[in-house]
Amino acid sequence: MKLILLGPPGAGKGTQAKMLMDRFGIPQISTGDILRAAVKDGTPMGLKAKSFMDAGGLVPDEVVVGIVRERLQKADCAKGFILDGFPRTVLQADALKESLLALGKDLDAVVSLDVDVEALVERLTGRRTCRDCGRGFHVKFDPPLVSGKCDTCGGDLLQRDDDQELTIRHRLEVYSEQTSPLVDYYRSAGLLTAVDGMQEIGVVQDQVLRSLQAG
Ligand code: ADP
Ligand code: AMP
């Protein structure tokens, strides 16, 4: 299964990707996670990406295209992969097409998650992530059993620096300007299925799975 999850920040891509990863035994490739790890480790790529991420803008195409090109060549992608947060521009989508062609692979599906802007803001301001294992929660929609602690490993739950309302609203504008054209891009390619992402996490999951089986 070679899949893209498309949708604005907060649509639930990471939440759904983790469930699909467990179910199909294929890796989630989140460019946001890879970039945050590079920033944390202070690598040259992380240093280059940090200012763009802090401001809620996009990291330059050549940086993320290079990350994904390398990642797709790893052995664990042989059975498939779930791209989460990539591509985000038409240039990235064209570059992905080339990378896959070079590897003799093809996308199976692009699932877009549709969520209203105000719901996205509420989801992102309430998002919390475990510092140790990366599991995601939401203070209202997916709360941990013990406030501030991860159900899986007991680690501290943190709020991302870019999940502040002003930065969130900027990220949503960037999505609408630079990433939303990809909906038509993949619809024209006959790969797109749209899922109503406003429903509960489990319902969205069922519909994503159903759309993959139908495809
Ligand atoms: P993305 O990866 O698209 O930015 P996430 O998967 O991190 O989004 O989800 C953003 C926040 O919204 C998280 O706190 C998550 O727990 C919560 N969330 C995800 N899906 C839903 C949903 N269907 N309903 C309510 N909250 C959700
Ligand atoms: P995310 O975790 O997907 O919300 O991404 C967090 C931030 O990482 C974004 O706001 C961008 O600054 C950067 N980023 C992640 N993926 C990409 C991408 N495909 N292209 C450009 N920037 C990206």
The domains of the chain, with CATH numbers, are 2-26+79-214 (3.40.50.300)
Name which residue sits closest to atom 14 of ligand 2, judged by CA.
32
Q: pTM higher than 0.85, yes or no?
A: yes
Cα(123) to ligand 1 centroid in Å equals: 6
Active site residue 131: no
pLDDT at 98: 97
Q: How many residues does the chain have?
A: 215
Cα(31) to ligand 2 centroid in Å equals: 6
CB 134: neighbour CB atoms within 10 A? 17
| Cα–Cα distance, 33 to 51 (Å, whole number) | 16
What is the residue whose two structure tokens read 């280059």? 48
| Cα–Cα distance, 3 to 62 (Å, whole number) | 21
Q: Enumerate the H helices of 42-130 as residue ranges.
A: 44-55, 61-72, 90-103, 117-125
Q: In terms of C-beta distances under 8 Å and separation of at least 24 residues, what long-range contacts does 30-34 make, across chains too?
A: 30/84, 30/85, 30/86, 31/59, 31/64, 31/67, 31/68, 31/84, 31/85, 31/86, 31/88, 32/84, 32/85, 33/134, 34/67, 34/71
E-state strands within the chain: 2-6, 28-30, 81-84, 109-114, 127-130, 136-138, 157-158, 192-196
CB 88: neighbour CB atoms within 10 A? 20
Cα(147) to ligand 1 centroid in Å equals: 18
Which residue in 36, 71, 123, 127 is the catalytic one? 127
Tokens of 86: 């990539």
Active site residue 171: yes
Q: Report the pLDDT averaged over residues 182-187.
A: 98
E-state strands within 122-162: 127-130, 136-138, 157-158
Is 207 a pocket residue for ligand 1 (Cβ < 6 Å)? no
pLDDT at 215: 63
State the amino acid at position 181 in one-letter form: P
How confident is the model over 46-94, as pLDDT tens digits? 999 999 999 999 999 999 999 999 999 999 999 999 999 999 999 999 9
How confident is the model over 18-30, as pLDDT tens digits? 999 999 999 999 9
